[in-house]
């Protein structure tokens, strides 16, 4: 048989091991100086979530795509929330809106 000799194999292995070491060191440094001590600003997260126009996709099955798009555009134009616009238009009752627009439920399969 033929020997498969690759004179570059030691160099390739050296570079792979060096890359692994660099990644390991950078991960430790990132964790120590960037991630450690970070805390979520729950008030800000809730504000951004409540004012997110992307949640309009949850309304489409209930009120239809066209009405949902209209609601999102109106909320964006008027600087209001989806909830305010939906209630103003009379498309969904406030209690029903709160049941539909539960972001936690949206993150899990049905």
**Tens of pLDDT along 36-57?**
999 999 999 999 988 899 999 9
Of the options 3.40.190.10, 1.10.40.30, 1.10.3720.10, 1.20.1250.20, the CATH number for the domain spanning 42-106: 1.10.40.30
> What confidence score (pLDDT) does residue 109 get?
84
Confidence at 105, pLDDT banded by 50, 70, 90? confident
What gap in Å lies between CA 89 and CA 86, rounded to an integer? 5
Give the end-to-end CA distance of the chain in Å, rounded to a whole number.
59
- Say whether pLDDT at 94 is over 80: yes
- Say whether pLDDT at 1 is over 60: no
> What confidence score (pLDDT) does residue 2 get?
67
What gap in Å lies between CA 21 and CA 33, rounded to an integer? 18
- Say whether pLDDT at 18 is over 90: yes
What predicted TM-score, i.e. pTM, was given to this entire model? 0.62
> What is the three-class DSSP state of 5?
coil
What gap in Å lies between CA 13 and CA 58, rounded to an integer? 51
Q: Can you state the angle between helices 82-89 and 65-78, rounded to 10 degrees? A: 120
Output 4 or 57, whichever has higher pLDDT: 57
Domain range list for the chain:
8-38, 42-106
């Amino acid at each position: 048989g033929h020997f498969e000799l690759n004179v570059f194999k030691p160099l390739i292995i050296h570079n792979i091991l060096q890359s692994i070491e660099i990644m390991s060191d950078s991960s430790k440094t990132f964790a120590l100086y960037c991630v450690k001590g970070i805390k979520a600003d729950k008030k800000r997260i809730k504000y951004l979530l409540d004012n997110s126009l992307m949640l309009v996709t949850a309304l489409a099955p209930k009120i239809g795509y066209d009405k949902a798009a209209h609601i999102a555009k109106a909320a964006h134009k008027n600087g209001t929330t989806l909830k305010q616009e939906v209630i103003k238009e009379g498309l969904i009752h406030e209690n029903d809106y709160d049941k539909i627009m539960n972001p936690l439920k949206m993150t899990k399969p049905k």
